[in-house]
Amino acid sequence: MRQAFSLSYDRETWIEVWNNVSKFEAAGIPIEKRYFSNLPSLSESYDGWRLEPRDEKSFGPNARYYKHDVAEAKKLMSAAGFANGMDLKATLVKGTDYGVSFHKEVEIRHGMNAEAGFRFTQNLIDYQTEFIPQYRDVKGNFEGIGYRSGPPATSADPVGQYTFFYYSKAGSSFYGFDAAGKGDNSGDPFVDDSIKKAQQEFDTEKRRALVHGLDKHLAQKMYAVNGLGGASGFSFAWPAVQNYRAYRGGSANTNRVENMYWWLDDTKAPLK
């Protein structure tokens, strides 16, 4: 069912709608598109560590679970005993805690899911008093599906990212799953073992191979669907601001790190 859920998503259309890819390309501006997998996909800090699902040659056969294939999604649902579709409760944070476009994004996603047979009843709740204690931090122990954003991983390191969300002993940040499907939050032995090995590995290439193995394995298991995809973005700065975007770390709070290295060149814009 998790695979069917992922296959119902049209990631190419999503990227086009939210990033205006064709308009930028028509203007002669090159755009790089990326599907979201299990490491932050739009941060260049993870280049070389994350695998791009659009590149089947490097990702391997499990890249197929990121494709848009409604027919296959329906076959999987039928095999699971839901030939006529499935009714689910979808819990959403009400208001704008997740941004002004959040509810529109969910509406579009539900429309894609519906093509495969997923039908939703929305459950709108308060973020602080209900969503955090009853949904965000309970390792998936709730009915239906939930849309979780944050808190960010405590480490920007690729292995740290996996540890925070996928290691069964990580605490409340653990997504909550088990390989046997018992609902006991015991995790996945392959995932836990790979993370522990990567934590203890000092050889960069061996560590990278373990991270790639996790990416491929999690694509097939699809314990969580981490967004759909994105594309190149653009930012502008006053010419006098030097070092803008020259230093970029893996932190989610990028600007808080970057602005420590900015300086003003008064030959380009005299200071008064």
Distance CA 207, CA 49 (A): 9
Q: What does DSSP say about strands 86-93 and 33-35: parallel, antiparallel, or unpaired? A: unpaired
Residue 269 pLDDT: 60
Residue 42 pLDDT: 72
Residue 252 pLDDT: 47
What torsion do the CA atoms of 125, 129, 132, 134 make, to the nearest 10 degrees?
A: -70
Residue 257 pLDDT: 55
Distance CA 69, CA 71 (A): 6
Q: How many CA atoms lie within 13 A of 149 on its CB side?
A: 12
Distance CA 31, CA 16 (A): 11
Over residues 42-87, the pLDDT tens digits come to 777 788 999 999 999 999 999 999 999 999 999 999 999 999 999 9
**Rounded-to-5 percentages of helix, strand, coil across the chain:** 45, 10, 45
In this prediction the pTM is: 0.87
Distance CA 184, CA 187 (A): 8
Amino acid at 240: A
Task: Give the chain's domains with CATH numbers.
Answer: 2-148+203-231 (3.10.105.10), 238-272 (no CATH)
Distance CA 105, CA 194 (A): 33
Instruction: Give the DSSP H or E segment for 254.
Output: helix 254-258
